[in-house]
């Protein structure tokens, strides 16, 4: 009788242990299946805003547990923020020198970076403007460009105007902006006679006309490097979005917004 009781007791203990393990494994499997929500911060050039917003919507449908938060701005300002410790998982710059600064400082590993897309520089004016080319800027009252020290489009614009040998004649007329979107706003609201922006920004506005396009040899190449921040808290998810931005559909979206694929 005692042997039977002991056998029954042992069987019950074994059953409970197995049930507990099964319950634990089931719970772990459910958590793995559901996934924990992760938020990524992407510091990206302002000119990428529309294309990235569309790509983000597609990505989050396919990966609902990864939430994307964008920090849009001038590439120089974003680079400084990251250098000073601001949280970021990826950096998508509109200038190679800003990106290279983070690589050289060890904040982005070169193997986790790529030159992804390119752009063009154009002259935009309010509808009905008499300005028809870059050469006409000497007759304009006000011209807006991004601040060259922090806004890559502004740096390229200054290089262009110096190459054309008209910078010294118009420098006093220049209204500087914090990024290309602000330049576009100044033109849309008739606060300036013309602005120099990326082609991609000009294409999204119905309030301006593109009247001239800069030749590629008049400024440094306009290249947008993308990279994963070395100290990201979510390396797997950051790499997932990094790779997603390079897939065929994402590249098609970039091209729809006027970017040139470089990969």
Please list, residue by residue across 162-192, b when 16 or more beta carbons sit within 10 angstroms of its beta carbon and e when fewer do.
eebeebeebeebbeebbbbbbbbbbbbeeeb
pLDDT at 1: 47
Secondary structure element (H or E) that encloses residue 17, with its range: helix 2-34
- Gap between the Cα atoms of 43 and 78, Å rounded: 6
What is the DSSP-derived secondary structure letter of residue 5? H
Assess contact for 92 and 229: CB atoms under 8 A: no
pTM: 0.79
pLDDT (tens, 9 = 90+) of the chain, 263 residues, equals 444 444 444 454 444 444 444 443 433 233 334 568 999 999 999 999 999 999 999 999 999 999 999 999 999 999 999 999 999 999 999 999 999 999 999 999 999 999 999 999 999 999 989 999 999 999 999 999 999 999 999 999 999 999 999 999 999 999 999 999 999 999 999 999 999 999 999 999 999 999 999 999 999 999 999 999 999 999 999 999 999 999 999 999 999 999 999 97
Residues 6+ apart with CB under 8 A from 42: 52, 68, 69, 70, 71, 88, 89, 90, 91, 92, 241
What is the DSSP-derived secondary structure letter of residue 227? E
pLDDT at 261: 92
pLDDT at 34: 52
pLDDT at 15: 46
pLDDT at 228: 98
pLDDT at 35: 61
The rounded Cα 219 to chain-centroid distance in angstroms is 22
Q: What is the dihedral of CA 175, 101, 219, 160, to 10 degrees?
A: 20
pLDDT at 19: 47
- Inter-CA distances, 87 with 10, 43, 169, Å: 55, 9, 42
The rounded Cα 153 to chain-centroid distance in angstroms is 15
pLDDT at 115: 98
- Gap between the Cα atoms of 96 and 187, Å rounded: 27
What is the DSSP-derived secondary structure letter of residue 65? T
């Amino acid at each position: 009788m005692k042997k039977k009781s002991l056998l029954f007791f042992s069987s019950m203990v074994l059953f409970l242990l197995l049930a507990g393990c099964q319950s634990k494994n089931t719970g772990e499997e459910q958590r793995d299946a559901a996934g924990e929500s992760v938020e990524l911060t992407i510091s990206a050039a302002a000119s990428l805003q529309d294309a990235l917003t569309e790509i983000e919507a597609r990505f989050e449908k396919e990966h609902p547990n990864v939430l994307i938060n964008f920090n849009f701005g001038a590439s120089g300002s974003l680079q400084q923020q990251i250098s000073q410790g601001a949280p970021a998982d990826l950096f998508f710059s509109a200038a190679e020198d800003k990106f290279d600064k983070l690589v050289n400082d060890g904040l982005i590993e070169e193997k986790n970076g790529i030159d992804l897309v390119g752009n063009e520089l154009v002259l935009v004016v309010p509808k009905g403007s008499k300005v028809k080319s870059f050469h006409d800027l000497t007759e304009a009252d006000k011209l807006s460009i991004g601040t060259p020290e922090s806004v890559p489009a502004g740096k390229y614009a200054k290089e262009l105007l110096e190459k054309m040998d008209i910078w010294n004649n118009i420098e006093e007329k220049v209204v500087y902006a914090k990024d290309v979107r602000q330049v576009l706003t100044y033109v849309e609201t008739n606060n300036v006679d013309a602005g120099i922006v990326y082609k991609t920004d000009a294409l999204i506005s119905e309030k301006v006309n593109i009247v001239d396009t800069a030749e590629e040899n008049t400024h440094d190449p306009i290249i947008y490097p993308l990279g994963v921040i070395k100290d990201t808290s979510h390396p797997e998810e950051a790499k997932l979005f990094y790779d997603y931005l390079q897939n065929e559909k994402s590249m098609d979206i970039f091209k729809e917004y006027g970017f040139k694929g470089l990969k």
